[in-house]
Chain A
Amino acid sequence: MSRSRTYNRRNIFIVAVVVMLVAAALTVRLGYLMIFKSEDYAARAKALHERERAIKAKRGNIYDANGILLATNKPVCTISVIHAQITDPERVIQVLSKELGLSEERVRKRVEKVSSIERIKSNVDKEIADRIREYDLDGVMVDEDYKRYYPYDSLASKVLGFTGSDNQGVIGLEVKYDKYLNGIDGRILTLTTAYGVEIKNAAEDRIEPQAGNDLHLSLDINIQKYAEQAALKVREQKNAKSVKLIVMNPQNGEIYAMVNVPEFNLNDPYTLLDEIADDYEGQTLSPNKLNELLNGMWRNSCISDTYEPGSAFKIITAAAALEANLVKLTDSFFCPGYKKVEDRIIRCHKKGGHGSQNFIDGIKNSCNPVFMEIGARLGPEKTYYYYDKFGLFDKTGIDLPGEAGSIMHKLEDIKPVELATMSFGQSFQITPLQLLRAVSAIINGGKLITPHFGVSIRSADGSYIKELDYPVIENAISKESSETMKELLEAVVYDGTGKRAYLPGFRIGGKTATSEKLPRGNGKYISSFVGFAPADDPQVLAIVLIDEPTGIYYGGAIAAPVIGELFDNILPYLGIEERYTEEEMKQFNAGSIEVPDFVGKSRDEVKKLMKIYEFGEAYTIGEGDIVIEQFPLPGEKVNKKSDIILYYGGQNETRSSG
């Protein structure tokens, strides 16, 4: 430089130094970002790149007592599209809408949506998914998945329950044992670009899914099937609204069967049963209404609904009175057909009264005045003391969700009238299962068991086994009272109101009941029977409830035979041998006859027919002159010397228990 080189040079040097200084400052800043901020920012960047893809865990199976699969998984597929990878959207739309049976607009909307991944349809059958895979379309993903599957469709539907789309239990055992059945989902951590496209071979981490554990039940598919058949049959015969049937082991509370007909299809739980849907034909159901109907269809009435137990509850009153030493079998009572309690006249079901009788006859006849009398002897406090011992104030603790509790009077509200009606099972409500539990304690020597289905939880490979325990409360009743009660209840079946449940060769105990539904006088009944066998060492206890039967509604007439028939099927199956007494051999070995049709016959005609057919005794009920109904029904096979009940046309009977 020609002029004053020094200051020019110095100035250039200053510029250069300024540049160096700024560069140094920026390097410091860079170092700060890359060393001190590195962890924080890098973690956030990583969260941005990583996509977590869940690998669904297999849900555990549910097995019955014989190891038969009741609930399992079926492989299904989920079809999704990745917008950024689609090369031929028109073809994708065309193929997917054709194969999946979806409308073209619906598929188009999903395909054309700019998102990283869009689910088109889940729960697609494997064959369809395989077909879609064969088209080899860019941007179409087929993910394998599992769907819950119930091999027996509607069997024990309200007990097993089903799962939702997220594989979580919605009702029943599927809910209760969700935490065991649900596996732990696995994960694949993959890196994706900003457009959601997975980078190949960049899977950073893979956590294998852990399958859920299997649930083993006490429920026995054969007993359940028998019970369901019996329930369906009586429902059809009596055109009843519904029939409930529970079969349980009274010694340990294991439930063998729980039937609520009509049952629904577990593989299609969101479709209303035809019989429900028919009531709403031609109407468009609002989502709320549909939901309500579905919930009604799924409802397990055996545990969720309460009812007035009626005469079957006399078992509890009798047991309490015996236990409290307030009654002896030989005590004598007199039934004039009613009992006056304060200013009220409460009738017995037998208009003319049972006359003079001892306690044994009282229970065999199911005589209301007898029980009102011993109820009065107990008084409210003792009554409630025993109710409590029999677990009637508590839920049973069954391993199913949605159990209802009992509805009882307040102790201080119990006046003589309430006490009298309570003694034969009216003016309060319990669930059928609560009754069954109380009866269990009475006939098993005093153990208040917890009814249950779940027996054990096992992993598929057998490496994990958890036996399920349930609480048992001892000494609900003394052994002696228990023995007495068993004998009394056996007598009810042998030659009392429960004789239609009698099976030659087996010792069966039980109690009938006919409960009038509230409000009184609407002519709607629940007819029921509680029975157990063998009477001296109960191995099986069952209850049937026929809700709103048409025609004859007496528990002794229509409910008892259901249990009789069921026991005929399942007692041999359970390994309980027939043991005929000599008397029985004589009486019943004579062969069987087909029941003729008595309906429409006059009393004279009946007399003639009775001479031809070898019936035991013909009970006649009603005052008319023409037979309007009979039991057993025409065409049924019965043993010779069986009794027959004939109902003559005319007036209705007054309210009664049966």
Chain B
Amino acid sequence: MSRTAAGVKSKKLHSYYDYSLLFIILFLVCFGLVMIYSTSSYNAQRIYGDAMHFLSRQALFTGAGILIMLFVSRIDYRIYIRNLPVIRLKPITLLYLLCLFLQIYVLIFGVEINGSKRWIDMGPLGRFQPSELTKIAVILFTAYIVNLAPRRLDKFRGFLRVVIFIAPLLGLIVVENFSTALIVGVIMVAICFVASKKKGYFIISALIFVGIAALFIILFPYRSERIRIWMNVETEPKGYQILQGLYAIASGGFFGKGLGQSMQKLGFIPESHNDMIFSVICEELGLFGAIALILLFLLLIWRIFIIAINSVDLFGGLVATGVLAHIATQVLINIAVVTNSIPSTGIPLPFISYGGSSVMVILFEMGIVLSISNQIKGEK
């Protein structure tokens, strides 16, 4: 920590702020808004009589999210693991308890949509999904626990200790939302993986995880049905949405039909502005546009990677890794689902898909990553 302390004292040193990351984020967010308008205007007009209905709501949340991101990026990220002055509690502990409370609350009082209780009604602000907030909590909390005693992670028991801390949150999510639980799990494992010197037990736990997953699928026919749909997407009636997505992707060809020219968004893909938005991007912008978007995401992940390996302390590096894992998992699972590479599960495409809490949480995380980059002292 001595070098860092010295850096803070030396005001002459240039403070690094990853503007290229900021630019990528802003570009992605704006591109997302364009695509949301393109995909949702038809349905918005049809249902609400206002083509801008979804766009304006999303723009509002995105605007708020950007402000939050810029604010958070100026706060030193280490404040989350320091004791607050009066109540003598760390913000991370408060956040952990808040998430625990909200997760329980949502299971009891949540709004049920499509058979799942995942949302808390916030009145005019729309609906809030506490599992999104939990993602931030898990990133920060895992990094915090690991950072307390990084060497313990070299042993399986150390990893288990982390799992025990995260288990309550994970358990509460998995009841209603398997895919989010999966992402939270991946984030946790990724952080532990980075901190650990030994890798053997990861392979063992990976095997155990696969075993549990297999058991899960057998025990819950709801899951195995999804696998059947995945294998026979063209014949299963419930594969309709995925099949429509495939039609959209395939009709895009090399250069697509042009922005706004999608046919499949005209009611063929239900809620095309949500999880299936990537298929419409493929249809309108073609393979060219789709690869450009994937490259943009990889660029974003590359920037976060750079920040992670250059962070001034382990905590920063672990948090950045968590964010990286979060974004990467969502992007990859989303694209994999849309291309029917894995069984379908509802995960939004970060920055692009419609959803207020999703975009705000992601921008919050970006704020933290920018804050980590802000602490790196460049030589220039």
Instruction: Enumerate chain A interface residues (CB-CB to B < 8 A).
Output: 1-5, 7-9, 11-16, 19-20, 22-23, 26-27, 29-31, 33-35, 37-38, 40-42, 44-46, 48-49, 84, 191, 193-195, 199
Bound Cα distance from A19 to B194, whole angstroms? 14
A20-B298, A31-B287 known; A8-B314 Cβ under 8 A: yes
Residues of B within 8 A of A44 (CB): 247
Bound Cα distance from A2 to B331, whole angstroms? 31
Residues of A within 8 A of B308 (CB): 12
A-B pairs with beta carbons under 8 Å apart, 23 shown: A1-B312, A1-B317, A9-B309, A12-B321, A15-B190, A19-B328, A20-B298, A23-B297, A23-B298, A26-B294, A26-B332, A30-B282, A30-B335, A30-B339, A33-B246, A34-B253, A37-B246, A37-B250, A38-B252, A41-B247, A41-B249, A45-B264, A84-B46
Bound Cα distance from A84 to B43, whole angstroms? 12
Shortest CB–CB separation between residue B344 and chain A, in angstroms? Answer: 15
Chain A, Cβ-Cβ closest to B283: A45
Residue contact A38 to B250, C-beta cutoff 8 Å: yes
Asked if B311 is an interface residue, CB under 8 A from chain A, the answer is yes
Residue contact A12 to B194, C-beta cutoff 8 Å: yes
Residues of A within 8 A of B302 (CB): 16
Shortest CB–CB separation between residue A195 and chain B, in angstroms? Answer: 5
Residue contact B246 to A41, C-beta cutoff 8 Å: yes
Residue contact B317 to A12, C-beta cutoff 8 Å: yes
Residues of B within 8 A of A191 (CB): 263
Residue contact B194 to A11, C-beta cutoff 8 Å: yes
Shortest CB–CB separation between residue B350 and chain A, in angstroms? Answer: 13
- From the candidates A1, A5, A42, A199, name the one contacting B253 in the complex (CB within 8 A): A42
Q: Which of B194, B316, B324, B336 has the most C-beta atoms of chain A within 10 angstroms of its own C-beta? A: B194
Shortest CB–CB separation between residue A198 and chain B, in angstroms? Answer: 11
Residues of B within 8 A of A12 (CB): 194, 305, 308-309, 317, 321, 324
Bound Cα distance from A195 to B197, whole angstroms? 58
Bound Cα distance from A1 to B147, whole angstroms? 11
Residues of B within 8 A of A49 (CB): 263, 266, 268
Residues of A within 8 A of B325 (CB): 15
Residue contact A8 to B317, C-beta cutoff 8 Å: yes
Interface residues of B in 245-268 (CB under 8 A from A): 246-254, 263-264, 266-268
Residue contact B301 to A30, C-beta cutoff 8 Å: no
- From the candidates B1, B150, B266, B336, name the one contacting A26 in the complex (CB within 8 A): B336
Shortest CB–CB separation between residue A213 and chain B, in angstroms? Answer: 39
**7 closest residue pairs by CB, A with B:** A194-B267, A41-B250, A45-B247, A193-B266, A42-B251, A11-B194, A19-B328
Asked if B196 is an interface residue, CB under 8 A from chain A, the answer is yes
A34-B252, A38-B251 known; A22-B332 Cβ under 8 A: yes
Shortest CB–CB separation between residue A72 and chain B, in angstroms? Answer: 42
Asked if B193 is an interface residue, CB under 8 A from chain A, the answer is yes
A11-B193, A45-B250 known; 12 new pairs, CB 8 Å cut-off, are A1-B311, A1-B316, A15-B305, A16-B301, A29-B339, A31-B287, A33-B249, A41-B250, A45-B248, A49-B263, A193-B42, A194-B267
Q: Which of B250, B294, B305 has the most C-beta atoms of chain A within 10 angstroms of its own C-beta? A: B250
Asked if B64 is an interface residue, CB under 8 A from chain A, the answer is no
Chain B, Cβ-Cβ closest to A14: B193
Residues of B within 8 A of A22 (CB): 332
Residues of A within 8 A of B290 (CB): 30, 34
Shortest CB–CB separation between residue A344 and chain B, in angstroms? Answer: 78
- From the candidates A26, A29, A195, name the one contacting B267 in the complex (CB within 8 A): A195
Bound Cα distance from A49 to B248, whole angstroms? 11
Bound Cα distance from A618 to B197, whole angstroms? 139
Residue contact B250 to A40, C-beta cutoff 8 Å: yes
Residues of A within 8 A of B150 (CB): 3
Shortest CB–CB separation between residue B70 and chain A, in angstroms? Answer: 26
Asked if B291 is an interface residue, CB under 8 A from chain A, the answer is yes
Residues of A within 8 A of B282 (CB): 30, 34
Residue contact B266 to A194, C-beta cutoff 8 Å: yes
Asked if B56 is an interface residue, CB under 8 A from chain A, the answer is no
Chain B, Cβ-Cβ closest to A192: B266
Residue contact A34 to B1, C-beta cutoff 8 Å: no
Bound Cα distance from A3 to B42, whole angstroms? 54
Residues of B within 8 A of A14 (CB): 193
Asked if B355 is an interface residue, CB under 8 A from chain A, the answer is no
Shortest CB–CB separation between residue B372 and chain A, in angstroms? Answer: 11
Shortest CB–CB separation between residue B327 and chain A, in angstroms? Answer: 9
Asked if B313 is an interface residue, CB under 8 A from chain A, the answer is yes
Interface residues of B in 305-356 (CB under 8 A from A): 305, 308-309, 311-314, 316-317, 321, 324-325, 328, 331-332, 335-336, 339, 341
SS of A interface (majority): helix
Residues of A within 8 A of B252 (CB): 34, 38
Bound Cα distance from A26 to B298, whole angstroms? 12
Bound Cα distance from A302 to B196, whole angstroms? 103
Shortest CB–CB separation between residue B2 and chain A, in angstroms? Answer: 9
Bound Cα distance from A504 to B193, whole angstroms? 124
- From the candidates A16, A23, A34, A199, name the one contacting B324 in the complex (CB within 8 A): A16
Residues of B within 8 A of A195 (CB): 46, 267
Bound Cα distance from A8 to B313, whole angstroms? 11
Residues of A within 8 A of B291 (CB): 27, 30
Residues of B within 8 A of A20 (CB): 298
Residue contact B250 to A42, C-beta cutoff 8 Å: yes
Chain A, Cβ-Cβ closest to B247: A45
Shortest CB–CB separation between residue B171 and chain A, in angstroms? Answer: 25
Chain A, Cβ-Cβ closest to B317: A1
Chain B, Cβ-Cβ closest to A50: B263
Bound Cα distance from A199 to B287, whole angstroms? 26
Asked if B72 is an interface residue, CB under 8 A from chain A, the answer is no
A11-B194, A12-B317, A23-B298 known; A2-B254 Cβ under 8 A: no
Residues of A within 8 A of B46 (CB): 84, 195
Asked if B286 is an interface residue, CB under 8 A from chain A, the answer is yes
Residue contact B309 to A23, C-beta cutoff 8 Å: no
Residues of B within 8 A of A26 (CB): 294, 332, 335-336, 339, 341
Shortest CB–CB separation between residue A34 and chain B, in angstroms? Answer: 4
Mark contacts of B140-184 with chain A using CB atoms, 8 A cut-off: 1 yes-contact digit, 0 otherwise. 000000000010000000000000000000000000000000000
Asked if B195 is an interface residue, CB under 8 A from chain A, the answer is yes
Bound Cα distance from A13 to B247, whole angstroms? 36
Chain A, Cβ-Cβ closest to B256: A34
Bound Cα distance from A525 to B339, whole angstroms? 83
Residues of A within 8 A of B339 (CB): 26, 29-30, 33
Residue contact B247 to A34, C-beta cutoff 8 Å: no
Bound Cα distance from A194 to B46, whole angstroms? 12
Bound Cα distance from A11 to B317, whole angstroms? 11
Bound Cα distance from A13 to B195, whole angstroms? 12
Bound Cα distance from A45 to B248, whole angstroms? 7
Shortest CB–CB separation between residue A42 and chain B, in angstroms? Answer: 4
Q: Which of A8, A13, A195 has the most C-beta atoms of chain B within 10 angstroms of its own C-beta? A: A8
Residues of B within 8 A of A9 (CB): 309
Shortest CB–CB separation between residue A87 and chain B, in angstroms? Answer: 10
Mark contacts of B40-53 with chain A using CB atoms, 8 A cut-off: 1 yes-contact digit, 0 otherwise. 00100010000000
Shortest CB–CB separation between residue A470 and chain B, in angstroms? Answer: 55
Bound Cα distance from A540 to B290, whole angstroms? 83
Bound Cα distance from A49 to B324, whole angstroms? 40
Residues of A within 8 A of B42 (CB): 193
Residues of A within 8 A of B264 (CB): 45
Residues of A within 8 A of B193 (CB): 11, 14-15
Residues of B within 8 A of A27 (CB): 291, 294
- From the candidates A15, A30, A40, name the one contacting B194 in the complex (CB within 8 A): A15
Residues of B within 8 A of A7 (CB): 197
Residues of A within 8 A of B305 (CB): 12-13, 15-16
Shortest CB–CB separation between residue A71 and chain B, in angstroms? Answer: 44
Bound Cα distance from A42 to B291, whole angstroms? 19
Bound Cα distance from A28 to B197, whole angstroms? 33
Residue contact B249 to A34, C-beta cutoff 8 Å: yes
Shortest CB–CB separation between residue A529 and chain B, in angstroms? Answer: 72
Residues of A within 8 A of B328 (CB): 15, 19
Residue contact A30 to B287, C-beta cutoff 8 Å: yes
Chain A, Cβ-Cβ closest to B311: A1
